[in-house]
Amino acid sequence: MLRKRLLALLGLLVIASMTLVACGGTDVPAAPSVETVEVIVTEVVEVEREAFTTPHPILSDLKVRQALAYCTNKSDLLKSVYPLISDEARAGLVMDTFIPKSHWAYAGDENVTIYSYDPDKGRALLDEAGWTLAEGADFRTNADGDELSLKFTTTSATFRQTWAAIWEQQMAECGIRIVRLHAPASWWFGDTTGIARRDYELGAFAWVGQADPGGQTLYACDQIPFPTNGWEGQNAMGWCNEAASTNIKLANNTLVQDERIAAYTVVQQEFTKDVPSIPLFNRTETFATAADLTGFAPTPGQEYYNYNVQEWARPGQDTIILGFTQEPASLFTLVEDAFVANIAYQIVRPAQEWHLNYEFTNSPITKELPTLENGGTTNNDVEVSEGTKVVDVNGDVVELAPGVTVKNAAGEEVEFTGGTVTMKQLVSRFEIADGVTWEDGTPVSSADLELGYKIACDPESGATSFITCDKTANVEFLTDAVGYIQTWVPGVQDPLYFVPVWPIYPNHQLGDVPAAEWATNPLVAETPLSYGPYKLVEWVKGEKMVFAANEHWVGGAPATPNFVIQFVTPESAESLLLGGEVDILASESLAGLTQALVDAEAAGAIKTYTEAGGTWEHIDIQLFIR
């Protein structure tokens, strides 16, 4: 919002005096009185806007964003990275919203705006927006002669270099110059650079698919990161649509799936109408391994394919080597979002839950997930009064006050007028499995979970979203078991209430380290203590990460004593696999099936896996400038 201040320049006094003096015999009239006039002069001075409140001079125009969508041939982008799959399979991967078409929450083609490939329509929209193509010119200009040129930032991964080059050509056919920047993943996904600081015009990356659509941190108005809010939130596009914001919160704050579907439908309708992002395609997850590797089982719906890394083995080998074409910047995954960082982290600190084939279950380090059905969670009726922190009907955490609308225990929307109102409150008991132990022999304790809660909710740690923290009414850390009782703010009806909430950090090692130092502390970022099947024993930057079996792993000895992540170039990855120098190349390193891989599998040298993954590619559009 444009802010102005008025500076009054006081004290400017204009004195008008006139004296007439006659010559000769004429009378000299009395000198007129001196007239004093006070004039207040004001000057309008524009103060500096808050960062990212100035609309982007090109991308804030809806017609331009729609043109970008119409000029994008998603099928050809898919073909560039998945040349060996059928046209029918490719068609099933195209995405029109942020939810895959096969997902239960997809709104349906009839309920959203579909931007089928139509470059003529895209060109017409650009003409309407004032970006015209002069005779003999390759790129469009506006009335001032400015060229329609946009910077497009993504990673250096082979996969994105491949489809990004095709997209650049598609945009050129519509008269749009695309200036590509393939940045290091460490910068693009850094906690103080790249996406986190909204440092792009057009930006491409992938959201890791999950069994549940989520989306609140991505599309709610209050999740737009600004310097003034400490860069909190993941809505780096700056998209604020009140209907979408309200419904993305509703979709994530009810246990009734029909209500969730209705809310997600509204969000998708507004999303496709406004085009803050161009969804491209649901990625296939392609993996290639040595032919005799056993235990490797990538599964749809599971975020990280190495969930069962302790089961991987090759006959007669004591080391498994996984090839990475990108190196993690840090293993402090609270602030480092890169997929490769999470894969490496999961080796030493496995997730507390699995979601195989889109079904949630506990992992080896946790006991039964606490559901309403098994009694691990209760959804209590509680009386709340003025001043109590609650979640209102829009999903916002507020203090209850007259005029606030909430859902009562019966699910009815009621406006609070005073007194008390009965609301629902979820309470869950989470427990870690018996025998989970750090690599130094120290048992994992409730204090480790308490430290996880503390760091996750401390802005000084570098965390970028505090929705979970804000919606937590109380956490009681157990003394009779390793775990905690999570009490949510009244009104929270999160459909993933049974998923473990807080990370596990070694209190005996890091309990005295200030939160502000975590991101730079080597014990956090480079050598995290393990409670998983392997421990990290060496990280040679630019070369490899070396893991050895953790003798204290609750699941017993891993099938293979040693594990290595080898950093390889995109150009050499396949040849290293085919030559036997690496045992596995996974979806983050492979652009998809290639003829060389198909031929090698036919010869019995390797085995390939192609799964329809939940991860999806998209191009985000920056709606504001710094």
How confident is the model over 501-544, as pLDDT tens digits? 999 999 999 999 999 999 999 999 999 999 999 999 999 999 99
pLDDT at 357 over 80: no
Higher pLDDT among residues 26 and 150, named by residue:
150
Task: List, for residues 91-145, the tens digit of each pLDDT value.
Answer: 888 999 998 887 888 999 999 999 999 999 999 999 999 999 999 999 999 999 9
How far apart (Å, rounded) are the C-alpha atoms in residues 250 and 493? 9
Return the pLDDT at 160.
92
Average the pLDDT over 576-597 and give the result: 92
pLDDT category of residue 465 using cuts at 50, 70 and 90: confident
Cβ-based neighbour number of residue 40 at 10 Å: 9
pLDDT at 355 over 90: no
- SS3 label, residue 443: strand
Mean residue pLDDT of the chain comes to 89
How far apart (Å, rounded) are the C-alpha atoms in residues 446 and 454? 12
Q: How much of the chain, in percent, has pLDDT values that exceed 90?
A: 75
Return the pLDDT at 442.
98
Which residue reads 């659509």 in tokens? 213
Task: List, for residues 386-410, the tens digit of each pLDDT value.
Answer: 999 999 988 899 999 999 999 999 9
Sign of the alpha-carbon torsion through 356, 362, 364, 368: negative
Reported as type and span, the H/E element at residue 477 is: strand 472-477
Question: Is residue 365 a contact partner of residue 554, using CB atoms and an 8 Å limit?
Answer: yes
pLDDT at 328 over 80: yes
Reported as type and span, the H/E element at residue 26 is: none
Nearest alpha-carbon partner for 188 in 203, 178, 201, 202: 203
CA angle 539, 542, 545 (to 5 degrees): 30
Return the pLDDT at 211.
67
pLDDT at 223 over 50: yes
Task: List, for residues 175-208, the tens digit of each pLDDT value.
Answer: 999 999 999 999 999 989 999 999 999 999 998 7
Higher pLDDT among residues 266 and 334, named by residue:
266
Nearest alpha-carbon partner for 153 in 190, 171, 192, 180: 180
| Residue intervals in the chain for CATH 3.40.190.10 | 287-365+507-612
- SS3 label, residue 435: coil
Is domain 287-365+507-612 annotated with CATH 3.40.190.10?
Answer: yes
Average the pLDDT over 411-434 and give the result: 96
pLDDT category of residue 612 using cuts at 50, 70 and 90: low
- SS3 label, residue 68: helix
How far apart (Å, rounded) are the C-alpha atoms in residues 186 and 328? 7
| Residue intervals in the chain for CATH 3.10.105.10 | 54-211+275-282+618-625
Higher pLDDT among residues 12 and 157, named by residue:
157
Return the pLDDT at 252.
85
How far apart (Å, rounded) are the C-alpha atoms in residues 329 and 336? 7
CA dihedral (612, 615, 619, 625) in degrees, to 10, reads 170
Q: What separation, in Å, do the N-terminal and C-terminal C-alpha atoms of the chain show?
A: 14
pLDDT at 87 over 70: yes
Q: What b/e sequence results for 539-556 when a residue is b if at least 16 CB atoms lie within 10 Å of its CB, and e otherwise?
A: beeeebbbbbbbebbbbe
Sign of the alpha-carbon torsion through 258, 260, 266, 268: negative
Which residue reads 């939810």 in tokens? 99
pLDDT category of residue 265 using cuts at 50, 70 and 90: very high
Nearest alpha-carbon partner for 390 in 505, 489, 510: 489
Task: List, for residues 11-69, the tens digit of each pLDDT value.
Answer: 322 222 222 222 333 332 333 333 443 434 434 434 456 789 999 999 999 999 999 99
Nearest alpha-carbon partner for 530 in 499, 501, 509, 561: 509
251 by Cβ neighbours in 10 Å (0-12 / 13-18 / 19+) ranks as: buried
Q: What b/e sequence results for 492-525 when a residue is b if at least 16 CB atoms lie within 10 Å of its CB, and e otherwise?
A: bbbbebbbbbbbbbbbebbeeeebeebbeeeebb
Under DSSP, the state recorded for 352 is: S
Type of residue at 611: E
Question: Is residue 620 a contact partner of residue 276, using CB atoms and an 8 Å limit?
Answer: yes
pLDDT category of residue 336 using cuts at 50, 70 and 90: confident
CA dihedral (454, 455, 457, 463) in degrees, to 10, reads 180
Q: CATH classification of 54-211+275-282+618-625, choosing from 3.10.105.10, 3.40.50.410, 3.40.1360.10, 3.30.420.40?
A: 3.10.105.10
Sign of the alpha-carbon torsion through 271, 276, 282, 287: negative
Sign of the alpha-carbon torsion through 137, 139, 140, 142: negative
- SS3 label, residue 188: helix
pLDDT at 7 over 80: no
